[in-house]
Amino acid sequence: MKIITAKTDCACEKRIALDDMILTSDMPTAAGSRMLDGYMSLFDAEVVTRLKEAGHCVSMKADVGEFAVDLMGETSYNGAPVASGVLVNAACETVKNGDAVAAISLDVNGAIRRGAAQSGLVCIKPTYGTVSRYGTIPAACSGECVSVTAGDVKTVADILSVIAGHDDKDGTSLPAEKCEAAGKVTAPVKRIGVIRALCEGVDADVQAKLDEFCAKAQAAGIEIVTFDGAALTAARAAWNVLMSAEVCNNVSRYDGVKYGYRAERFTNIDELYTNSRTEAFGDVLKSVILYGSETLSTENYMKVYDKSLRVRRIICEIFADLFEDADAVLMPAVGKMAYTEEDVKADKYMAFSENVYTAPASITGLPAVVAGGVQLVGPALSDAALLDAVARIG
Amino acid sequence: MRYETVIGLEVHVELATDSKIFCSCSAHSYGAEPNDHVCPACCGMPGMLPVVNRRVVDFGMKAGMMLNCHINRVTTFDKKSYYYPDLPAAYQTTQWFAPVAVNGTVEIDTPAGKKAIRIKQIHMEEDAGKLVHDLREDTTHVDFNRTSVPLIEIVSQPDLSSAAEVEAYLERLKTLLRYARVAECEMAHGTMRCDVNLSIRPEGSTEYGVRTEMKNMNSIEAIKRAIEYETARHIDAVENGTEVLVQETRRWDDVKGKSYAMRTKETAGDYRYFPDPNVMPVVIDDEWYDSIADSLPELPEVKFERYTSEMGLGEYDAEQLTRSIALCECFESAVEVCGSAKDAANWVISEIMSILNTKGMTYDMLTVNGETLGRLIVLVRDGKVGRANARRILADMFDDATIDPEAYAEKMGFIVSNDTGLIESVVKAVVAADPASVAAYKGGREKALMALFGKCMKELRGNCDPQVLRVVLLAEIEKA
């Protein structure tokens, strides 16, 4: 387990850990990649500025998988974060171990939600556009969100209220009134729909978490209904296409010319590019780059990329329909409560199948709250209502 | 067999906005040190997000309207990926799926009459940086001052059929875009660049031949030479089988007067366009659209017509003035103040244009305010300031646009004296001191009078009504 940088050994009440996708001008930010080893940003991310202004102590960086596209962080150039033979998420560990009261992560492909579900923490991936992405290392910009993870709902809500809000520096930032609306409970969650298609085939201990959550919800006076939701499983394939294409495009700037890793041996500019990228990027990221590049080719664009954009719209419509009949939907965040090192050795692309649970919220930009080992997804701007629901459920 | 040349142009024009397209860096780096006008956004560092400069969209729409295009009310930005060291993020943000303007026309004059050149589209995009090769050190440096400077690319249909038509088309584009004040369009400064797509076909045929593209042409003369050369090369290939034409990008070497095929590596490639998720679609509502439509200038030919028929100017004067929107605006507001189109035209054409020429400035760079010029003209007409002194005031107005003509004339001692006693005493002294000129004039040499007149004027520092001076001087000569 690695905390990459601990600037101070501060033990104040307000210390916050950032995952290594969030740029800081006083600590290096490497995005889990040899390519950006030691990279010092010229500026702080907007969320960092807001936290500092609110008196928080931003003093710690937690490792991520290369550009945060993997399962838990296992593709980091620092090696997989493992505790007792089980993969852990570094940002979650900082909270679990009490090194930080909360962790701020860039949720690109759900790693932080998986980590929070497996470590019993509370995590929110807020509505897309309510938290500025200015100063986050870009990976899959159309869906990635800055998320907050902590040990309890109140801390998550408090930290979220500090970092959320309109930012002129982010063209996708929602208007101030919408950001404010996301912070208020206007319609408390009274009915939750369980997405049956996503609950099928999960491990027994995950099923137990789902059952426990439903029982507690009912005890708290929330009605539980069941939806089929089979079409939501298509979010995974579409998200893998969109994410890979965007990651491919976003990491093309790392070419060894301006900053970052540069190969020692090259005789011309093409070799400089090729050798630098070949030496600095890991295998999983390379696969993502190849896949993304292929989906954007003239030959495949309409067949694959454009179709994925259409799937995104359909998934949004399906959610809208579901929210006619329920205030939020329940789904797992993970298929099993622990991933072993052997799991990812046997299938290094596990992130791209296991993200069947996280992709629906990623591809739509809907808010998702992980608590009690399960995931609650609500309509756009229902962030506060979701946190309120999990607080009531306890 | 007779052949016809089929030409389509892609013209890149740098928009004259103050700042770059997605960040607030200055878009004008002429004379700046390399990498002076850069920030983490335009040099491609991670974490910066593009925020669209609204002025760029204003200018893109304006250009579209000037070229009679349909404006897409929802216009989007897309990413175009390719590797080159002058492109810091390895992608260019451009418009691929929904460009700002489509389906326009530009009318040009040809020997056979007016011809409409169809415009396929106009899209907005960011420029790339520059590579500076240092041959002594055998290294290459990158200068990102130009990255993210806003451009529009104007894509024509293949409606042009000769070098002369291409020239007329480019000149017309320049005029329209300069009139709308959206661009400088100076090929020598690189603010207008041109890709030429060319093929040939038998006259009367409707099929297209094999097309070649010459990129980054930056002078009209070079374009004309390249078109002549390529046309001849294509005809030679088709007629005589000298070579097999292939669709390719070629480089024009203007010194050698030849085009060369570029390495396939430089031309091959799939740009993998996709919508930029960080730039929200730009929605142009009626209010925005109308504000741009209302700001469009009167076209030069309309002004010409108005100047000659309504304002009574000669064709030469009208032609001179309509060479630049800045001259027109200066002229028109001067007329409003002084009430005389003839006087205002004279001042703009004979004084202002020559000062601009002397200073090596383009007409569009004129900063002299027409209203101020009008007041200066009134001062001269009322005999309050001599013409020569008025010229000096005008010259100073080029350096200081805030000059108030009345106050400045006062300050400089340029107000014409009405003191006839002073004039008479000066004239007396001059005549007395130069009996030779007096005698010469009396002997029939008209020029001698001018010499005496000039001396008097100089003594009076120009502050004298020339008519009064002339009368007094002639009277004094009579007496002498």
Q: Report if residue A279 sits inside a domain.
A: no
User: Is residue B416 over pLDDT 90?
Assistant: no
For the question of an ipTM over 0.90, the answer is yes
DSSP state of A68: G
The CA distances from residue A237 to A71, A108, A358, A363, B384, in Å, are 16, 15, 12, 10, 84
Positive or negative, the CA dihedral B403, B406, B408, B414 is: positive
CA distance A89 to chain B (A): 23
Exposed, middle or buried: residue A286 (CB in 10 Å: 0-12, 13-18, 19+)?
A: middle
pLDDT for residue B218: 85
pLDDT for residue B268: 53
Of B51, B83, B273, nearest to A255 by CB-CB distance is B83
Pull the structure tokens for residue B62: 């304006």
pLDDT for residue A1: 46
- Residues 6 or more apart in contact with residue B307 via CB below 8 angstroms: B313, B317, B318, B321, B322, B341, B345
Distance CA B360, CA B152 (A): 27
pLDDT for residue A44: 97
Contact between B39 and B50 (Cβ < 8 Å) = no
**Residue type, position A81, single letter:** P
Which segment of A7-11, A100-104, B352-356 scores lowest on mean pLDDT? Answer: A7-11
Q: Report if residue A26 sits inside a domain.
A: yes
Residue in chain B closest to A140 (alpha carbons) equals B277
Which range of A255-259, B181-185, B238-242 scores highest in mean pLDDT? It is B181-185
Distance CA B398, CA B320 (A): 20
Q: Report if residue A52 sits inside a domain.
A: yes
Whether B85 sits inside 8 A of A252 (CB atoms) is no
Contact between B317 and B353 (Cβ < 8 Å) = no
Contact between B369 and B329 (Cβ < 8 Å) = no
CA distance A251 to chain B (A): 8
Question: What's the CATH number where A386 sits?
Answer: 3.90.1300.10
Distance CA A115, CA B439 (A): 112
Whether A134 sits inside 8 A of B47 (CB atoms) is yes
pLDDT tens-place string over residues A103-155: 999 999 999 999 999 999 999 999 999 999 999 999 999 999 999 999 999 99
Q: Report if residue A86 sits inside a domain.
A: yes
pLDDT for residue B139: 86
Chain A contact for B129, CB < 8 A?
A: no
Average pLDDT over residues B391-404: 92
pLDDT for residue B137: 83
pLDDT tens-place string over residues A132-142: 999 999 999 99
pLDDT tens-place string over residues B271-318: 999 999 999 999 999 999 999 999 999 999 999 999 999 999 999 999
Q: Give which of A146, A112, A156 is closest to A126, Cα–Cα.
A: A146
Question: Is beta strand A223-227 parallel, antiparallel or unpaired with respect to A328-332?
Answer: unpaired
Distance CA B106, CA A125 (A): 52
Pull the structure tokens for residue A298: 């003239």
Note the helical H segments in B247-369. 264-267, 286-294, 300-305, 315-321, 325-338, 341-346, 353-359
Whether A141 sits inside 8 A of B90 (CB atoms) is no
Contact between A147 and A104 (Cβ < 8 Å) = yes
Whether A136 sits inside 8 A of B274 (CB atoms) is no
pLDDT tens-place string over residues B89-138: 999 999 999 999 999 999 999 999 999 999 999 999 999 999 998 888 88
Q: Report if residue A293 sits inside a domain.
A: no
pLDDT tens-place string over residues B21-57: 999 999 988 788 999 999 999 989 999 999 999 999 9
The CA distances from residue B190 to A195, A201, A266, B127, in Å, are 59, 63, 33, 11
Q: Report if residue A98 sits inside a domain.
A: yes
Contacts of A134 in chain B (CB under 8 A): 47-49
pLDDT for residue A11: 67
Q: Report if residue A244 sits inside a domain.
A: no
pLDDT tens-place string over residues A269-315: 999 999 999 999 999 999 999 999 999 999 999 999 999 999 999 99
Residues of chain B with CATH 1.10.10: 420-479
Taking CB atoms and an 8 Å cut-off, how many pairs form between chains A and B?
91
Q: Which CATH class is domain B420-479?
A: mainly alpha
Half-sphere exposure of B66 toward its Cβ, with a 13 Å CA cutoff? 26
Whether B47 sits inside 8 A of A136 (CB atoms) is yes
Percent of residues, chain B, with pLDDT higher than 90: 71
pLDDT tens-place string over residues A306-335: 999 999 999 999 999 999 999 999 999 999
Distance CA A270, CA A275 (A): 8
pLDDT tens-place string over residues B421-437: 888 888 898 988 888 88
Contact between B13 and B151 (Cβ < 8 Å) = yes
Query: Residue A59 — very low, low, confident or very high, per pLDDT cuts 50/70/90?
Result: confident
CA distance B329 to chain A (A): 37
Whether B51 sits inside 8 A of A171 (CB atoms) is yes
User: Is residue A251 over pLDDT 70?
Assistant: yes
Chain A contact for B34, CB < 8 A?
A: no
Whether A138 sits inside 8 A of B47 (CB atoms) is yes
User: Is residue B266 over pLDDT 60?
Assistant: no
Q: Report if residue A284 sits inside a domain.
A: no
pLDDT for residue B458: 87
Q: What number of other Cβ atoms are within 10 A of residue B70's Cβ?
A: 12
Of B40, B51, B278, nearest to A141 by CB-CB distance is B278
What domain range includes position A146?
3-233+310-393
Whether B272 sits inside 8 A of A293 (CB atoms) is yes
Number of domains in chain A: 1
| Mean pLDDT value across chain B | 92
